[in-house]
Copies of this chain bind each other. A is one copy, B any other.
């Protein structure tokens, strides 16, 4: 422990109050004399005084800490976390990250855990539905901003990619190239990301006058193994090799690639593969895989911005739809 306010006060031969006021930049408001102020500042500097943030947090009931709860720390979420952390740090906040592995119970535990730890706010990539969220909100009296996965409601703050639009554009490109036989490899059905991506998929088919066959739509989960499974189903259940497959996340694409490598090495000679999410390595895969790149940086920036606005500027909730980018290789 470095030296305390009290010890500083002793050295400067003033009271704790004076030191506190000076150090918090309230000298002028309280008419502390320039002489005293400078003396205190100098002593503080000389002794490299650092206020004890825990004492401060206790006193102010404000920890300057934000909890960030996300399913994984993989590429997309890792980048989101990284940027949120940087933005937060610049404004004096620190981020506590916890990882749910896409398990709802874990999410609940983590929220409770971080709440008990007195975080000032929570940024969540949630699996909760509206009811569960309402339940939570009534118990928890700190601001919540949803990131990446939204919940419908006018009073809920969120920042997500425009999944529907992104998917629609990507799938439309396929249709315009003449593809009419396209499969949807989806994730956890009830998540907004899944709903929006599926809606985008259907909208593209509708717009382009392509028939949408329910049997070509699968939604199991976002794990690599799920992508493998769904690809397997497509290949094994249908006699005809599909013209195109859309995977709605990079992990699902990985599963597809794995299945193809093991059981269907010629998949790509008959089938176009396109995916939501991007990855730099896709640039080097043959054949080219079109993708939709989410703007992780912007998502991160906005979500902390909204949180900060609520905490310090009396702003209320806000909602932001971030445009993803089509990558046609």
CA gap between A279 and B52 in the complex, in Å: 43
B residues less than 8 Å from A57 (CB atoms): 54
The contact size tier of chain A is: 35 or more
Which one of B78, B97, B283, B286 lies within 8 Å of A286 (CB-CB)?
Answer: B286
A118 on the B face (CB < 8 A): yes
The residue of chain B having its C-beta at the shortest distance from the C-beta of A92 within the complex is B113
B residues less than 8 Å from A50 (CB atoms): 116
B residues less than 8 Å from A118 (CB atoms): 52-54
Copies of this protein, total: 2
B residues less than 8 Å from A113 (CB atoms): 89, 94
Interface-side segment among A79-87, A180-188, A209-217:
A79-87
- A residues 98-126 touching B (CB-CB < 8 Å): 98-99, 110, 113-114, 116-118
Q: With A1-B61, A118-B53, A284-B261 in contact, is A98–B72 under 8 Å at CB?
A: no
Minimum Cβ distance to chain B for residue A153 (Å): 25
B residues less than 8 Å from A285 (CB atoms): 281, 284-285
**A residues at B contact (CB < 8 Å):** 1, 50-55, 57-58, 61, 63, 72-75, 78-79, 81-82, 85-86, 89, 94-99, 110, 113-114, 116-118, 224, 254, 257-258, 261, 279-286
The 8 tightest CB contacts between A and B, nearest first, are A281-B281, A73-B78, A78-B78, A73-B82, A257-B284, A50-B116, A54-B58, A54-B57
Q: Could you list 13 further interchain pairs (A-B, Cβ under 8 angstroms) beyond the known A52-B118, A73-B81, A281-B282?
A: A54-B57, A54-B58, A54-B63, A54-B118, A58-B58, A72-B82, A73-B78, A78-B78, A94-B117, A254-B281, A257-B284, A261-B284, A281-B285
